[in-house]
């Protein structure tokens, strides 16, 4: 019987290949087969060996995507064939990347699994425009939250999050921005709370919007920004490079990094 292979869940970061960790690069170079997510920059495959088999298993909200169960069965089959499988995920495997589900499934079938962290877009997006997620004067912590739950029962409690006093880093929230705004305002968050939206963080196509909670849905619509985007809500957004230049509540859409 052939020796069982292994699976490595690799965080590919927010998009810029230069933000890969050295450990991620080494794992990709050793791979026999790479299962790549839709949001992973294809340029990262330059680190793979010549002739490596690449399987696209993209998963994006609101679009046709590869079923999770199929991805897990495919990883299991490849590992049982004695191959080293790299599951290449945008951002970090354990931050809205379903890495926990995949690791549990593979381990339950006796397959060795390693997890290599990646830089999440929730970290890269705010830092790219000068926004720290914590600040001694404004926020003593940050909460990473999805913009929608798996079902109605798991929907984020926006009212409770509004009362936390912490920076909110919202993934996959663009399509539900009106409901998010309503929930935060209902929870007592000030209408003038600063908000930043960053699309395609770390890539040349990056665009961003600075606004306030009260104006967010209309401002986002007018800006034309869409997915994939990170929404940052909290006073730390006042640290944005362009906030002082444009004033509280002013809007800015475009390439801040190139201004």
Which residues are tagged catalytic? 37, 59, 172
Instruction: Name the nearest CA neighbour of 83 among 117, 40, 49, 118.
Output: 49
Asked if 45 and 54 count as a contact pair (C-beta separation under 8 A), the reply is yes
- Contacting residues for 73 by C-beta, under 8 A, at least 6 apart: none
110: region left, alpha or beta (phi > 0 left; psi from -120 to 50 alpha): left
Asked if 87 and 75 count as a contact pair (C-beta separation under 8 A), the reply is yes
* H helix runs in the chain, sequence order: 22-30, 68-80, 99-108, 121-128, 158-162, 177-186, 216-223, 243-246
DSSP 10-46: EE-BSS-GGGS-HHHHHHHHH-SEEEE-TTS-GGGGG
Within 10 angstroms of residue 66's Cβ, the number of other Cβ atoms is: 16
From edge to edge, which strands make up the β-sheet containing 229-233? 142-146, 167-171, 229-233, 194-199, 207-212, 252-254
List of E strands, 77-235: 84-89, 113-116, 142-146, 167-171, 194-199, 207-212, 229-233
* H helix runs in 81-170, sequence order: 99-108, 121-128, 158-162
């Amino acid at each position: 019987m052939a020796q069982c292979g292994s699976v490595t869940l690799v965080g590919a970061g927010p998009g810029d290949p230069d933000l890969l960790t050295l450990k991620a690069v080494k794992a990709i170079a050793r791979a026999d087969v790479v299962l790549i997510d839709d949001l992973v920059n294809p340029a990262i495959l330059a680190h793979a060996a010549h002739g490596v088999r690449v399987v696209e298993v993209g998963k994006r909200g609101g679009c046709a995507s590869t079923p999770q169960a199929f991805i897990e069965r495919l990883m299991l089959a490849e590992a049982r064939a004695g191959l080293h499988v790299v599951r290449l995920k945008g951002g970090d495997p354990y931050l809205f990347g379903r890495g926990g589900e995949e690791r549990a499934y593979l381990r339950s079938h006796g397959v060795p699994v390693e997890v290599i962290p990646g830089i999440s877009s929730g970290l890269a997006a705010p830092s790219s425009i000068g926004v720290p997620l914590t600040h001694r004067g404004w926020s003593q912590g940050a909460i990473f939250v999805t913009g929608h739950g798996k079902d109605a029962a798991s929907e984020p409690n926006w009212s409770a999050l509004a009362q936390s006093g912490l920076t909110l880093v919202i993934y996959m929230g663009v399509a539900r921005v009106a409901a998010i705004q309503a929930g935060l305002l209902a929870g007592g968050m000030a209408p003038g709370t600063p908000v930043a939206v960053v699309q395609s963080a770390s890539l040349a196509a990056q665009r961003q919007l600075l606004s306030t909670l009260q104006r967010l849905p209309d401002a986002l619509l007018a800006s034309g920004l869409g997915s994939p985007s990170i929404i940052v809500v909290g006073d730390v957004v006042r640290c944005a490079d362009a906030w002082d230049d444009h004033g509280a509540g002013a809007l800015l859409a475009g390439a801040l990094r190139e201004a």
